[in-house]
Amino acid sequence: MEILVVLLILGSVMAFALPNMSSYYQRVRVDSSVQQLQALLYYAQRQAIMSGNSITICADDGQDHCQVQWQKQLLIKMNEVILRHVQLSTAINYTGFPDSAVVTFLPTGFTDTQNGRFTLSEGAYKKSLLISQTGRFRIEED
């Protein structure tokens, strides 16, 4: 009888805890991807400054070419040379202002006349990483 009561209580606690754990793991994956993306942007910016060349970050089409539709796979390129392939753990969307499908850092560390917003999401949880024309980053919780 006592075991049945303990199992009943344990089952009730688990019924409330499991949905919360799922949203917690979604949040952790998004936060991790935002940090990974920010480190990637800093890397690209430093490479542009140190090499004296423009560095482009874009969505990978799976064949080492840039594509318009952003997804989890990214490329960092200098001219046509690929510096890195990156796989994020969450979905990503990029909106550039003016309209652009890539982010390019100039040798000054600035972007090539654009501001932009990366939005990373999983389930109902979203976070954005904003980039200014001067190459500064800011994280926003949506």
Say which CATH number the domain at 45 has.
3.55.40.10
pLDDT beyond 80 at 30: yes
Write out the H or E segment, with its range, that includes residue 89.
none
Average pLDDT of span 78-84? 90
Q: Please give the mean pLDDT across all residues of the chain.
A: 86
**Comparison of pLDDT for 14 and 69, the residue scoring more:** 69
- pLDDT given for residue 98 in this prediction: 73
Half-sphere exposure of 57 (CA within 13 A, CB side): 31
DSSP code, position 91: E
The pLDDT-based confidence of 49 (bands split at 50, 70, 90) is very high
pLDDT beyond 80 at 13: no
- pLDDT given for residue 14 in this prediction: 63
- pLDDT given for residue 80 in this prediction: 86
Q: Range of 129's domain? A: 2-141
The pLDDT-based confidence of 47 (bands split at 50, 70, 90) is very high
pLDDT beyond 70 at 19: no
The pLDDT-based confidence of 88 (bands split at 50, 70, 90) is confident
| Total domain count, the chain | 1
**Which residues touch 117 (CB under 8 Å, ≥6 apart)?**
94, 95, 128, 129, 130, 131
The per-residue pLDDT for range 99-115, each reduced to its tens digit, is 778 899 999 999 987 78
Cross-strand partners of 81? 78
Most confident by average pLDDT, 5-9, 11-15, 36-40: 36-40
Which residue is listed with tokens 């942007």?
41
